[in-house]
Amino acid sequence: MSWFGRDKSKLVSAEEAIPGRDQPLTTPDLHAVYPDRRIKPPFPEGSRTAVFGLGCFWGAERLFWMTSGVYSTAVGYAGGHTPNPTYEEVCSGLTGHTEAVLVVYDPKQVSYEQLLKVFWEGHDPTQGMRQGNDVGTQYRSAIYYVDDTQREEAEASRATFQSALSAAGHGEITTELAPLREFYYAEDYHQQYLSDNKNPNGYCGLGGTGVSCPVGLGVSE
């Protein structure tokens, strides 16, 4: 399939996706903002992980590393078919991936439901295969759950936020909700891209709806 002249707002099938590679891309082990913390396993005992896609992953990652209770973050690619894709391949629309953020958090300090609130309020989840001026399948909104508990909480949170969006005159949520198959780490220069020692004034295309997402109204304990 040609990299040019195709509609990047349409997802490719597994058969159409480019082949990728067996070896992971070279990435650091430590976080640029919290240099004593790992962005790859092993993580501290008791920590949990979550994976979200909410547009350009530069600003999305910063949103989460600034969230209290989050131990570490990393950017990468999820939801597609091509193993170990490069940034250029993902941007071609021929891998099926979206730009994603891996969030490592302490559930004693921040709940998954609270992370979902950050997710919903940090972008516009009604835009389909785009986020603002960024257009293409790699910018789609997505939640990739790691177990049934996350799935149930994500579904409940989506329903709650849809009610809030509808009341404010917004459209239907288009967020992809699916099990996490694989998270592929992005290249070194993308990790913590907007940190002070890299690009503190770099591009951030995030923009929310201004609608608050209620918490505490979803799945009961």
Contact 153, 215 (CB under 8 A): no
Scanning 66-175, the segments in alpha helix (DSSP H) are 87-91, 112-121, 148-167
Catalytic-role residue among 56, 91, 204, 213:
56
Residue at token pair 């570490």: 72
The angle formed by the CA atoms of residues 27, 31 and 36, to the nearest 5 degrees, is 125
91 carries an active-site annotation:
no
Measured from the Cβ of residue 107, the count of other Cβ atoms closer than 10 Å reads 13
Torsion, Cα of 92, 194, 59, 19 (10° steps): 20
* Tokens found for residue 51: 């994976």
Q: Which two tokens stand for residue 126?
A: 């009604």
Q: Catalytic positions, please? A: 56
